[in-house]
Amino acid sequence: MAHIDSFLQLARDQGCSDLHLTIGRPPLVRLDGELVELQYQALRADDTAALVYEILDDENRARLEQGGAVDLGYTAPSGGRYRLNAFRQRLGLSAICRVIPDHVPRLADLGLPSVLSEFTALGSGLVLVSGGPGSGKTTTLAALVGEVNANRNCSVITLEDPVEFLHESEKALVVQRQVGIHARSFAEGIRSCLRQDPDVILIGEMRDPETITAAIEAAETGHLVFGTLHTRSAAQTVHRIVDAYPTEAQAQIRHTLADNLRAVVSQELVHVADGRGRRVVCEIMIVTPAIAQLIREGKTHQMPAAIGTGRRLGMQLMDQALMAFVRSGDIDPNEAFLRATDKSEFVLHVTRPELLSVLDRGPARAAGA
């Protein structure tokens, strides 16, 4: 057994999301969003190198040496799967290991709104899950694929970097491909899989215009495409996609996006009321004819109002979702206040008066403050 496995198993047993290995500090784990040191000696440069290199094969070692960083999926011999990012920094080699749950979660288990299950039944179009790093996007995507796998007789191809959750084919045929091993890039992988008879395509990350274009083309040609972006609202997601293109191409991409985007789920993880854990809170935009027209006209600033009035269709703003959980006592009202865009409605629920100083800094979003 590799020496790193004992740290990984401890992180898994304690319900942590990540393990950090860096020089000059003991191993740290992220528990409920906070970093906590393990009771262990500070790691030296040769300690981190030994821990990481023990589980790298020759190909990943070469990628680390050539590029200064490598992403990979790792399955411990004793069980448990992890996503590892090893990278070189000023002091030497460090690594971040994400703990992947043992089983593909169900949407209901994650506490996500039931409307998300409707997206898995779509015949075609683009469904995006957005959020900051560590907001649970990959887990939500896995649950969406799991829903398709359990209920549809279809072909699913995933493109990931690296492969995280492992899907066993049930009703659907699920094929998982890893960028860097099975395809040179996301964009190339998308175009390749269009010749592999997929009904549903999952794209782990839409990080560049070429990938975004390939994803929209796949949706346009009759496939259901799930993907992620690092954005914090539905309107920002649309803006980010359009802004990825040159000015002269933006009118065309707005029209194409309006015709093919079906929904955007923008999510955050917020501490529960007693501080022992976090739960997902999400904004949901369903692309109705009215919202499609706003996309065509470039009026993303009007989207929040359209989302706020579409609750009967399953839509909700992040502020609406936060307030619902505050009123039900499910999340920390102080954190909800800091994350809200319009903080005025949350003032009465704040239990730490010193937080109200945020209001003096203007309307800027204070998430993470």
What pTM does this model have? 0.90
Query: How do the domains of the chain map onto residue ranges?
Result: 4-100, 115-326, 332-361
pLDDT band, very low/low/confident/very high, at 362 (cuts 50, 70, 90)? low
Whether 11 shows a pLDDT value over 90: the answer reads yes
> Rounded CA gap, 55 and 58, in Å?
10
- pLDDT tops 80 at residue 1: no
List pLDDT tens digits, range 46-94.
999 999 999 999 999 999 999 999 999 999 998 899 999 999 999 999 9
Phi-psi region of 318 (alpha: psi -120 to 50; beta: other; left: phi over 0): alpha
CATH number for the domain running over 115-326: 3.40.50.300
Q: At 239, list the tokens.
A: 């803006």
Q: What is the pLDDT of residue 342?
A: 93
Structure tokens at 238: 């649309």
Side by side, the strands of the sheet bearing 18-21 are 34-37, 28-31, 18-21, 92-100, 81-89, 69-75
Q: Which CATH number fits domain 4-100: 3.40.30.10, 3.30.450.90, 3.40.50.720, 3.40.50.10470?
A: 3.30.450.90
* pLDDT of 365 strictly over 60: no
The two three-digit tokens of residue 229, written as one number: 């972006």
d(C-alpha 93, C-alpha 309), whole Å: 50
At residue 361 the predicted structure's pLDDT band, cuts being 50, 70 and 90, is: low
Query: Is pLDDT above 90 for 275?
Result: no
3-state DSSP of the chain: CCCHHHHHHHHHHCCCCEEEECCCCCCEEEECCEEEECCCCCCCHHHHHHHHHCCCCHHHHHHHHHHCEEEEEEECCCCCEEEEEEEEECCEEEEEEEEECCCCCCCCCCCCCCHHHHHCCCCCEEEEEECCCCCCHHHHHHHHHHHHHHHCCCEEEEEECCCCCCCCCCCCEEEEEEECCCECCHHHHHHHHCCCCCCEEEECCCCCHHHHHHHHHHHHCCCEEEEEECCCCHHHHHHHHHHCCCHHHHHHHHHHHHHHEEEEEEEEEEEECCCCCEEEEEEEEECCHHHHHHHHHCCHHHHHHHHHCCHHHCCECHHHHHHHHHHHCCECHHHHHHHCCCHHHHHHHCCCHHHHHHHHHCCCCCCCC
The answer to whether residue 122 scores a pLDDT higher than 90 is yes
Place of tokens 């539905």: 234
Owner of token pair 């800027």? 364
What average pLDDT is seen over the chain? 94
Same fold, 4-100 and 115-326: no
User: Would you say 218 and 190 are in contact if contact means Cβ atoms under 8 Å apart?
Assistant: yes
Q: Answer with the residue of higher pLDDT: 145 or 352.
A: 145
Percentage of the chain lying above the pLDDT 90 cut: 90
Q: Say if CB 147 and CB 117 are below 8 A apart.
A: yes
